[in-house]
Amino acid sequence: MSESSFWRYLSKLLPKEGHFTRIEAHDTAVGFPDIHYTLNGTSGTIELKDAKRPGAKYPFKGESGLRRSQITWMQQEIDIAQGLVFLGLQCGNRVYLLKADLYYDELHRMTEEDIARVAAVHWVKGPRKLVVFGNRLQEILSGAL
């Protein structure tokens, strides 16, 4: 599955009270995350990643991982501007949401078990997840957790 189809799936889960915009700005804003949002007066970004090899020891290494420009952007946004950045990760039928400030520089060295252990929320895709995780996502993305 591609990041585009991951976005289509994820967009159905996101709180309706927020404003979420998918951005593909490789040429104009190098390193900028895939989604910008505002929810309950809090703005942030989400970088989406889809594991090309979900069974690999390090599923978000290499072509599935963060590019140097993305790491640099996150470092500046988080460390200098105290911005709110998340990593939305898809590994097969499993989805993880992590606070990027803790893991953006380590993602390429993390196993899926490591990711599951530190994720703010994670789930296996399925139709019932739309209801179960809607409120949880709202709390996380608005900075309440």
Please write the tens of the pLDDT for every residue from 46-105: 999 999 999 999 999 999 999 999 999 999 999 999 999 999 999 999 999 999 998 988
CATH of the domain at 101: 3.40.1350.10
DSSP for 41-106? TEEEEEEEEE-SSTTSSSTTSGGGS--HHHHHHHHIIIIIT---EEEEEEETTEEEEEEHHHHTTT
Domain count, the chain: 1
Question: Can you give the residue range of the structural domain that contains 111?
Answer: 3-141
Residue 11: how many other CB atoms lie within 10 Å:
11
**pLDDT tens, position by position, 3-43:** 889 999 888 888 888 999 998 766 667 899 999 999 989 99
pTM of the model: 0.90
What is the tens place of the pLDDT at every residue in 100-127?
998 988 999 999 999 999 999 888 887 6
**Percentage of the chain with pLDDT > 90?**
61
